[in-house]
Amino acid sequence: MRILVTGVGGQLGHDCSIVLGDRGHDVLAPTHSELDICDPGAVDSYFDVNRPGVVIHCAAYTAVDKAEDETELCRKVNVDGTRNIAVNCARYDIPMVYISTDYVFNGSGDRPWEPDDATEPINAYGLSKRDGETEVLKNAKHFIVRISWVFGINGNNFIKTMRRLSETRDTVNVVDDQYGSPTYTKDLAELLADMIVTDRYGIYHAHNEGVCTWADVAEETFRDSGLGTKVNRITTDQYPMKAKRPMNSRMTTDLLVKNGFRRLPDWKDALARYISELDG
Ligand SMILES: NC(=O)c1ccc[n+]([C@@H]2O[C@H](COP(=O)([O-])OP(=O)(O)OC[C@H]3O[C@@H](n4cnc5c(N)ncnc54)[C@H](OP(=O)(O)O)[C@@H]3O)[C@@H](O)[C@H]2O)c1
């Protein structure tokens, strides 16, 4: 299969291109400088010249706090850029995988979100990703895959930040009242590779199994890394940030199983493998 992966310079795109290549696919992996998804003419001609058979769209504006000030740029990438890709998928009648986020939900309550629950983003980034979903939904051949708390080798993430902080601090304050599940890009890339060879389209939730808080992730990171750094558990109110975060990011992954896909391994298992990858 000829697969276009956008965002290869980031965490998920990087691992997708490796996993798909290992499975023998013909992977088209343009970097941001090779293909700016915000340039409709460039996207049109990229499709005309390269003729992908499916697209995994990982490119995005992901700076959640900066998005509150750079809302226009964020929407240009996440809404207009996504539309440019979706329009071409429609033009060539090919499937599109769009990577979305737990931030499409408002974070109320403590029930895990179902894929068909009403969306109500509470920050500019979440709103842009939800509006990107709307563009993708115009095509019948869509996989919208909502993920959360992403970590991968190629880029910055919470786990790398914790390990860096541990170099200068004995104790780190970490928020302990937001609930969700981390997603290891290597595991997710395997799932996406399974999905694209099917026609089981729809809106999915996918992340490593198990629910935790950021403080739990930090503690496990220090343990797996053999570091003695302690975690001081604090509340969201004690750590003000520019963009509001959903308190409840639990999401059900039942649809994966119902539609014949495998759930991702437990988050602690994923984190241990990731720490080995970082240290390897
Ligand atoms: N990170 C998370 O915790 C998280 C959580 C839930 C969902 N997601 C979603 O998961 C997907 C993958 O996230 P990630 O963490 O792998 O993202 P990432 O590491 O920030 O990578 C995003 C990539 O998109 C590229 N990009 C930005 N603007 C572009 C443009 N106009 N044209 C082409 N490429 C462009 C970036 O290139 P430059 O760096 O050169 O700009 C970067 O390589 C995204 O859709 C994101 O919204 C992420």
What's the gap in Å between 53 CA and the centre of ligand 1? 22
Check if 101 has its Cβ closer than 6 Å to any atom of ligand 1: yes
211 in Cβ contact with 259 (< 8 Å): no
Nearest CA owner, ligand 1 atom 48: 150
d(CA 225, CA 244) in angstroms, rounded, equals 30
Q: Can you tell me which residue has the tokens 């241990």?
A: 272
Q: Is the pTM of this model over 0.95?
A: yes
Band (pLDDT 50/70/90 cuts) for residue 132 is: very high
Pocket of ligand 1, candidates 43, 74, 150: which has the most ligand atoms within 8 Å of its Cβ, to mutate?
150
CA 70–ligand 1 middle distance (angstroms): 15
The mean per-residue pLDDT over the stretch 9-36 comes to 98
Residues 184, 248: contact at Cβ < 8 Å?
Answer: no
Give the integer Cα–Cα distance in Å for 34 and 42.
Answer: 9
How much is the average pLDDT of 5-11? 98
**Separation of alpha carbons 277 and 202, rounded Å:** 32
Give the rounded percent of residues in the chain with a pLDDT score beyond 90.
Answer: 100
What backbone phi and psi angles, to 5 degrees, belong to 185?
-60, -30
Pick one of 3.40.50.2300, 3.60.21.10, 3.30.930.10, 3.40.50.720 as the CATH number of 2-157+182-209+251-265: 3.40.50.720
pLDDT of residue 250: 98
Distance between Cα 205 and ligand 1 center (Å): 18
Domains of the chain by residue range: 2-157+182-209+251-265
Pairing of strands 150-151, 171-175: unpaired
How far apart are alpha carbons 194 and 177 in whole angstroms?
34
In contact, 40 and 216? CB cutoff 8 Å: no
- Helix, strand, or coil (residue 14): helix
Q: How far apart are CA 208 and CA 63, in angstroms?
A: 22
Count of beta carbons in the 10 Å neighbourhood of residue 110: 9
Confidence of residue 214 (pLDDT cuts 50, 70, 90): very high
What angle in degrees, to the nearest 10, is found between the helix axes of 214-224 and 158-165? Answer: 60
**DSSP character at residue 76:** I
Ligand 1 and 67: CB distance under 6 A:
no
Best substitution site from 8, 58, 154, 185 to test ligand 1's pocket, by max atoms within 8 Å of Cβ? 58
Which residues are CB-contacts of 153 (< 8 A; sequence separation ≥ 6)? 11, 14, 15, 185, 186, 274, 277, 278
> Is beta strand 179-180 parallel, antiparallel or unpaired with respect to 212-213?
antiparallel
Q: Ligand 1 center to residue 61 CA distance, Å?
A: 5
- Residue minimizing CA distance to atom 19 of ligand 1: 10
